[in-house]
Structure 1
Amino acid sequence: MITTRDNIHHRLGGIPFGSLPKTFQDAVTVTRAIGIRYLWIDSLCIIQGDKQDWANEAGKMAGVYQNAHLVIAASGAENPEQGCYSSQRRCPYAVSVPYYSSRGRKDGLMWLSVPVQRETSPYWGPLRQRGWALQESCLARRILRFTPAGMIWRCSGLMTSERYSFAWIYPEVWEEILEDFSDCKLTYKEDRLVALEGLGRAIQEVTRDKYTLGIFESSIPEQLFWMLEDAADEAEDLAALPSWHWASRGGPKIFMTKDTQVCERSYPQFILEPSGILKAQGFVAECGILSTRPGRADVALNQLLLAHPYLQHISPRCIQTPSRPAQLAGIAVFDDEGYERVHVLFLMQWEEYDRWVQDRINLKFPHGKGIIKTLYLVLLLRPSPAGEGIFKRVGVGLVILDPESDGISATLKNITLV
């Protein structure tokens, strides 16, 4: 059920309860039960197929969800006809046990079961796959989710359900939100930035960190270092966005820096223009690429593959130094096809990487061989035909050599990324 220009006058006159889809009916019932007078449903309250109304209302959606008394999420419903309440709860290994009152009298029975992890998760279900729903979930002050395993309540500091309860803090790292969002689906790929605009503006209001085109300016290097988790689908590309932008490509992405708050951004200085052009001053080197994976003797590079197992599934290649004789300098991960030579822009350095590997991953190497003390996160670039000093992104890399070492010999340059 939707509102259009053709039926808006009928909608304003009232909508019979019986004509509503089951999910909408359940939402109305919940709203009335808690004593709230108004209910906002996007497909009814935004005129569908009307670009002007959509443009007006899309910018207000952040305020709608932030200021709502309660957000209702039918997390387990495939469509509006299924309703909020699941009629097929699965409780494997369920047993009934007697319930006794405080006076020791048997007062009935209760059922105990081992929970199905995916079904008790607040992110389980079809709603989890909708790109627009992520922003709505983040912005809501209070949210009541209906899942096949029961109801789940979440507010700013607590999550509780029919099965468990714990303190709750939503992810504060933007790259973690982007990674979750990249795994969601959108009906229109052009909504990729719009679907996060309200959330980005809300974060900007709190942090005072300038937000432009899906990017927070205080953490540009972290937002540049993304990898495609699966093979790219050109049909999902957004040609209007620059190659370096996370939203320029569709599909799930990995943001390696989301849980590594130990990287120092001591290299590039960035200026992000409103047009999406990114100007950078940083260390750049031209390196060769081997089309093979690291051999068994390349202990240091194999350490990277062990510490970051997802690298093994996205066709990593070896970066070679430009020096002669050439030596292996790191791992390259391309967005699409590989290249024999690339320009490398150093983004961040990861100090005490060896401690992170040993303490967190618990990887041990004999006699300390191959232990990487400092790791460098880099952007892989190719010259653009647009002009001298202009580059396009083609991938990312992990480098184990200092940019100013004899092998790399990177130089400080001013470049433009498009």
Structure 2
Amino acid sequence: MIEPISFKPVSFEPVSFELISTWLEDCTKNHKLCRSEFPPKLPMRVIDVLSRDDPLLLETDGGRGDYFALSYCWGKQRNIDMMTFGPKSKGKRGQPDPKPNIEAHKARIPFSSMPKTLQDAVIISRRLGVKYLWIDALCIIQGDDEEWEKEHPKMADIYANAKLVIAADNADGLEKGFLNRKVTMARPEEGGLQRIIPQAQKQHNLERSGTRKTSPMCSSPLSWNEPLNKRAWSLSEVIFANRIVHFTSSVMVWECNEFRHCESGCSHIFQENDDDSFRLFRNILIANQSTKAELYHKWDTVVEHFTRRQINSQPEEKYKDPQRLVAISRAARRFSQILEEVLQYEDEYLAGVWKGNLTRSLLWSVEKGLQQYLAIRWRRPEAPRAPTWSWAAVEGPVFFEPLVNFQPAIHVKEATVKQCDSDDQFGQVISGKLVVQGKALHKLKIQLEDHAYLDHVTGHRCRICSPRFDEGCLFTCDAPLSEANTHQEFSCLYLGNGEHEGDIQRETGLYYAILLLRPVAGATQVFERVGISSHCIRNDGGSTLLDTMIEDLITII
């Protein structure tokens, strides 16, 4: 799991291919939880990196074989000439329709003209003697909506079945590369390897196995500051990879279902129900060790990681705002299968939320992100992409309140969403409705609260304006409010209460989870979510508010 650690960039010259090979051999031979069907069924297309001097695109026709897959950032400058286009390809973002080049790629993809990041992936595949490499820009026809609809759901299996996923963590674009060294290519008859001419030589004084020094407390060397870890689309690639090697700005890191190894010599052994891994998505034996609550908690963890990442290629872009749920749909599909296999029932997926865990799923908040001084501005997309009660309605990091002994106080009467595609329950949605019976209070006014130290919190905190309620009634708003909102009426809905797990910084007492709602103009008893109570309410701070509330039937959209 990624920790917010920053590293100074260092050179990877030379990369220890022997070390990667050792990790890979040990894993394929000895790790029971990493084993899968080998050779697996190949994706529809792969890049053949060994048969000729230059790579070429290959139609697999359902064949089998080992292959590597690349996880990377496209970046601002997209090499249009290199991407694969077909007769049905359309231009994107105002660009003209590209000329088909798929037949040319089947004959030859000139290595010298490939972007540096793709060259590095070819180098690794050749050096480790694996013939096939999968890269979405080359193996899926770009701009072909029909092919995208068919291939997008398969990408989870593509990364899961890869013998190794190469993660270009430190490269912020196709042209950057992630090995940072000069190379010359060797001919296939020379063993399919390349001769490395390093800019600087560096000795690796690691033990051959790389597994003798183990520490369960070994912290993750993966950083949120790496370009790849800021990209929402890449999270599912990490989740599904049974084996992945990260090229970070500081060290090379191996992760599989049993171990994490660092190039520096540190290793971590994953334990049962280890929260520092997404491995239960990949192996049903691991998932079977989890309780219902632990499974749903793992989904919350996925959401927390996912929302910290950008859906668009650049922070200032809004082009892909509607695709938020599409980017996490691969993980949602697999999690649905896990719930069915482990819990023996089919749960309903509602715009990023699971119906079987619905009340707890409403406990998401931006509060923790504000406390961590994240350099992010939370916002609601210009065009709504999810009902306001779903975390997907907000652009920016969300976190779930870690409440134990949670006692729900609402009864869900109805929870539905309307999908853009009725055949895809995991894709984009048009609208959603949540009807609940519970304690509510209406016709309230609010006042905005400033924060003495966090300027970026402006508009994110508010209180109910009433002499009846004490300092406990503080709310964190999902997106910033303005002074104009203080003239509107608001409502509160009591969700339930619980205790914060292992958080010594919070005051002792019950946490009363209360939603802040705003009436929808022109509708009766219909509301949208605005925020959630953000602090522990003690003594009469909670009871006074709750005693004032009355039972009500309300709808949140």
CA gap of 1:195–1:147, structure 2 versus 1, over 3 A, is same
- Equivalence for 1:26: 120
- Equivalence for 1:385: 521
Give the C-alpha shift of residue 404 in structure 1. Answer: 7.0
Report the Cα distance in structure 2 between the residues aligned to 1:289 and 1:385, rounded to whole angstroms. 16
- Equivalence for 2:492: 344
Give the C-alpha shift of residue 320 in structure 1. Answer: 5.2
Report the Cα distance in structure 2 between the residues aligned to 1:374 and 1:149, rounded to whole angstroms. 43
1:14-413 → structure 2 map (5 Å cutoff): 14-86=108-180, 120-121=221-222, 123-163=224-264, 164-168=266-270, 169-170=276-277, 173-187=298-312, 188-208=320-340, 209-228=347-366, 229=370, 230-233=376-379, 236-250=381-395, 252-257=396-401, 259-269=402-412, 271-275=414-418, 276-286=432-442, 288-291=444-447, 293=449, 315-319=460-464, 325-334=468-477, 335-337=479-481, 338-339=485-486, 341-351=489-499, 360-361=503-504, 373-398=509-534, 400=537, 408-413=547-552
Q: Given that residues 76 and 86 in structure 1 are in contact (C-alpha distance below 8 angstroms), is that contact kept between their aligned partners in structure 2?
A: no
Deviates more, 1:78-87 or 1:46-55: 78-87
Amino acid at match of 2:140: I
Deviations 1:151-201 (A, max 9, x none): 110001211111221134325532332222222122322221111000111
Q: Given that residues 448 and 459 in structure 2 are in contact (C-alpha distance below 8 angstroms), is that contact kept between their aligned partners in structure 1?
A: no
Report the Cα distance in structure 2 between the residues aligned to 1:406 and 1:262, rounded to whole angstroms. 21
Give the C-alpha shift of residue 261 in structure 1. Answer: 4.2
- Equivalence for 1:110: none
SS in 2 for 1:30: helix
Amino acid at match of 2:434: L
Give the C-alpha shift of residue 80 in structure 1. Answer: 2.0
SS in 2 for 1:173: helix
The CA RMSD over aligned residues, in Å, is 3.5
SS in 2 for 1:203: helix
Amino acid at match of 1:54: W
Amino acid at match of 1:72: I
Q: Given that residues 412 and 434 in structure 2 are in contact (C-alpha distance below 8 angstroms), is that contact kept between their aligned partners in structure 1?
A: no
CA gap of 1:336–1:316, structure 2 versus 1, over 3 A, is closer
Deviations 1:214-235 (A, max 9, x none): 222222233333334554445x
Deviations 1:117-173 (A, max 9, x none): 999426542111111111111111111111232311000121111122113432553
Report the Cα distance in structure 1 between the residues aligned to 2:459 and 2:304, rounded to whole angstroms. 16
Amino acid at match of 2:109: I
Structure 1 segments unaligned to the other structure (5+ residues):
89-95, 102-116, 295-304, 364-370
SS in 1 for 2:133: coil
Amino acid at match of 1:350: G
SS in 2 for 1:242: coil
Report the Cα distance in structure 2 between the residues aligned to 1:33 and 1:264, rounded to whole angstroms. 56
Amino acid at match of 1:185: Q
Deviations 1:284-330 (A, max 9, x none): 12263452649xxxxxxxxxx99xx9997764222356xx7554441
- Equivalence for 1:4: 85
Give the C-alpha shift of residue 14 in structure 1. Answer: 3.4
SS in 2 for 1:78: coil
Amino acid at match of 2:253: I
CA gap of 1:15–1:315, structure 2 versus 1, over 3 A, is closer
Deviations 1:364-410 (A, max 9, x none): xxxxxxx6521211111112135222111122224736877576432
Report the Cα distance in structure 2 between the residues aligned to 1:122 and 1:336, rounded to whole angstroms. 28
Amino acid at match of 1:21: P
SS in 1 for 2:134: coil
SS in 2 for 1:273: strand
SS in 1 for 2:108: coil
Report the Cα distance in structure 2 between the residues aligned to 1:9 and 1:381, rounded to whole angstroms. 56
Report the Cα distance in structure 2 between the residues aligned to 1:403 and 1:292, rounded to whole angstroms. 20
Report the Cα distance in structure 2 between the residues aligned to 1:25 and 1:8, rounded to whole angstroms. 19
Task: Give the count of matched residue pairs.
Answer: 366
Report the Cα distance in structure 2 between the residues aligned to 1:396 and 1:310, rounded to whole angstroms. 20
Q: Given that residues 409 and 494 in structure 2 are in contact (C-alpha distance below 8 angstroms), is that contact kept between their aligned partners in structure 1?
A: no
Give the C-alpha shift of residue 12 in structure 1. Answer: 2.7
Report the Cα distance in structure 2 between the residues aligned to 1:176 and 1:49, rounded to whole angstroms. 32
Task: Determine what percentage of the aligned residue pairs are the same residue.
Answer: 28
Report the Cα distance in structure 2 between the residues aligned to 1:154 and 1:270, rounded to whole angstroms. 43
Report the Cα distance in structure 1 between the residues aligned to 2:223 and 2:255, rounded to whole angstroms. 9
Report the Cα distance in structure 2 between the residues aligned to 1:167 and 1:316, rounded to whole angstroms. 42
**TM-score for the superposition, normalised by structure 1:** 0.76
